[in-house]
Amino acid sequence: MFAKEPVQLYTLIHQFSNIVENKDELGSIISYVLVSTLMEFSAQAGSWQEMQVEQIAAIYQGLEDTLDQCRSSDSYQILCALNVKVHEFLKTVETEKDIVANPLLKHIMTKLANKRGVPADTFRRSGLALVNAIIERGALTRKVDCLKQDYRIIEVIFAT
């Protein structure tokens, strides 16, 4: 009997790439899921490290849920729904700067505000950068390494 691979961005992105053939669509979906998950995230833990673990676990769950939706529906329809959800949030954030309490999401929104161009392009490029970085890094064997490194890669690509 084979041991189940730990959930990590590598396995999730690999599964997505088998379903979503268009790379631009893949990058956008990954980004929108990440941001929409962080929009809905509320920390249950007290320490900074516990909150990071909870955030990455929520992102994994959001990606798994979206992956299931992509298996049973057209991925472009899912992308459109995520696009609307995130862009409505962006409009709200523009008028109410203090609405974002999550530090990672706040950094993502700050980066987005300082970028020129269309937010959808920034999301697509960031999602593709994440996909490429994760594929290049490969799978990790220890769950703790997965959580820490996945969080760090997301933070570097999306928030700095």
Q: For the segment 47-83, what is each residue's pLDDT rounded down to a tens digit? A: 888 888 899 999 999 999 999 999 999 999 999 999 9
pLDDT in tens, the chain (160 residues): 344 566 899 999 999 999 998 999 999 999 999 999 999 888 776 788 888 889 999 999 999 999 999 999 999 999 999 999 998 988 887 666 666 678 888 888 888 777 777 888 999 999 999 999 999 999 888 888 888 999 999 999 998 7
Quick one: which of 148, 107, 156, 104 has its CA closest to 130? Answer: 156
Structure-derived torsion over alpha carbons of residues 118, 106, 110, 61, reported in degrees to the nearest 10: -30
Q: Is 15 helix (H, G, I), strand (E, B) or coil?
A: helix
Specify the pTM: 0.88
What residue spans of the chain are helical by DSSP H? 9-19, 23-40, 48-72, 75-95, 103-114, 119-137, 143-159
Round to whole Å and give the CA distance between 114 and 49.
Answer: 28
Quick one: which of 109, 102, 106 has its CA closest to 55? Answer: 102
